[in-house]
């Protein structure tokens, strides 16, 4: 796709030059100025830069649907309006079903200019949060991840984006974060270790990042079905553990999500009659049994079925014999 006129001016000559040319063009021919703003391939940073001038010249009525929504979104954010999720959903379900796609356009065409200004970053953050939390659209999750790491390298604010990212990410997608452990950029490795601090194989003292990456992938593969989101944020602790392993789910070999949603013993599940006794055990024994259950389930389903239905004390004897005494 060819580059839009105003994008070309912004990229090659800068924001000030873009404003000057827009002012001159609008002064001579408003329709031509609006035609260039409304180009289908225009990138979001150019619209953001031109918004104050569009407002001053009272040209907003001439914007197309995409730009009108983005223009109003910018105005609401910069005026300090709290965007109510119910209002946004009503707008989406009513007259503006394309709103999530416009937010995606803002992010995907605008993230490369992240850091343009504090106001610009604020708008991008809010667009990302609305996209993920209000509309449940995670198609731009990789871009949001890139923004988080890019900002961390520059020492910029990442807490809001990180919160929205982890509120949305599925444990099945943690491999993308793990890949940052082998980055040639030290800051990427540093942040990946902080974000993945709930994984035992992740350590700030490990010099062999390739080995750490491989061990982390292995751990994720073995535990991703049993991970649940803790909801802990940077507002509560300095380095929150955002995911944790449900030892009960791992013990019964049931996905953590469906297990926790029941809020009770999963009736009818193989081994569920032992769950009450399992929960009475000390943590070391819970860990032993859950790890052994996972290993045996992967190795031999028939033997696992026999083991999981045996008394818990017998399970401990077998697990200790195979994996070692926890004492």
Tens digits of residue pLDDT in 218-251: 999 999 999 999 988 877 777 899 999 999 999 9
Is 140 among the domain residues? no
Query: What DSSP state is assigned to residue 3?
Result: P
Per-residue pLDDT of 272-316, as tens digits, reads 788 989 999 999 999 999 999 999 999 999 999 999 999 999 999
CA–CA gap between residue 67 and residue 38 (Å, rounded): 7
**Domain boundary, last residue among 197, 215, 245:** 245
What is the number of domains present in the chain?
Answer: 2
- Same domain as 225, residue 188: yes
- Same domain as 284, residue 239: no
CA–CA gap between residue 134 and residue 129 (Å, rounded): 7
**Domain boundary, last residue among 214, 245, 276:** 245
Is 231 among the domain residues? yes
Please report which helix (H) or strand (E) contains residue 99, including its range.
Answer: helix 99-110
- Same domain as 273, residue 317: yes
Residue 270's pLDDT is: 63
- Same domain as 277, residue 240: no
Q: Which residues span the domain enclosing 233?
A: 172-245
Nearest to 244 by CA among 290, 277, 295, 181: 290
* CA distances, 172 to each of 10, 107, 265 (Å): 39, 23, 24
CA–CA gap between residue 174 and residue 198 (Å, rounded): 12
Is 189 among the domain residues? yes
Is 178 among the domain residues? yes
Is 187 among the domain residues? yes
Q: How far does Cα 35 stand from its chain's mean position?
A: 36
Residue 327's pLDDT is: 47
Is 151 among the domain residues? no
- Same domain as 277, residue 233: no
- Same domain as 238, residue 185: yes
**Domain boundary, last residue among 245, 280, 308:** 245
Is 229 among the domain residues? yes
Q: Residue 244 in 3-state DSSP?
A: strand
- Same domain as 196, residue 235: yes
Task: Give pLDDT < 70 ranges for the chain.
Answer: 1, 83-96, 261-271, 325-327
Is 154 among the domain residues? no
- Same domain as 228, residue 188: yes
């Amino acid at each position: 796709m060819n580059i839009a006129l105003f994008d070309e001016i912004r990229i090659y000559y800068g924001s000030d030059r873009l404003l000057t040319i827009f002012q001159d063009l609008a002064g001579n021919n408003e329709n031509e100025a609006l035609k260039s703003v409304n180009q289908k391939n225009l990138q979001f940073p150019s619209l953001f830069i031109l918004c104050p001038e569009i407002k001053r010249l009272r040209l907003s009525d001439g914007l197309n649907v995409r730009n009108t929504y983005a223009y109003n979104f910018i105005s609401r954010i910069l005026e300090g309006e709290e965007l109510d999720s119910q209002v946004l959903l009503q707008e989406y379900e009513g007259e503006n079903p394309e709103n999530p796609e416009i937010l995606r356009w803002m992010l995907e065409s605008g993230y490369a200019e992240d850091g343009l200004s504090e106001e610009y970053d604020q708008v991008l953050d809010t667009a990302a949060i609305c996209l993920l939390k209000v509309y449940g659209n995670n198609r731009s999750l990789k871009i949001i991840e890139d923004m988080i790491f890019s900002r961390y390298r520059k020492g910029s604010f990442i807490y809001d984006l990180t919160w929205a990212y982890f509120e949305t990410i599925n444990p099945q997608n943690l491999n993308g974060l793990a890949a940052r452990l082998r980055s040639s950029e030290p800051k990427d490795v540093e942040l990946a270790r902080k974000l993945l601090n709930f994984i035992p194989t992740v350590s700030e003292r490990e010099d062999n990042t390739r080995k750490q990456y491989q061990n982390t992938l292995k751990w994720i593969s073995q535990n991703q079905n049993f991970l649940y989101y803790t909801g802990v944020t940077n507002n509560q602790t300095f380095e929150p553990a955002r995911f944790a392993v449900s030892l009960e789910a791992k013990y019964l070999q049931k996905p953590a999500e469906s297990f926790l949603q029941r809020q009770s013993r999963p009736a009818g599940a193989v081994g569920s009659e032992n769950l009450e006794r399992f929960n009475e055990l000390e943590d070391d024994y819970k860990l032993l049994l859950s790890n052994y259950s996972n290993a045996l389930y992967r190795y031999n389903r028939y033997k696992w079925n026999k083991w999981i239905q045996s008394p818990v004390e017998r399970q401990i004897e077998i697990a200790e014999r195979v994996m070692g005494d926890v004492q």
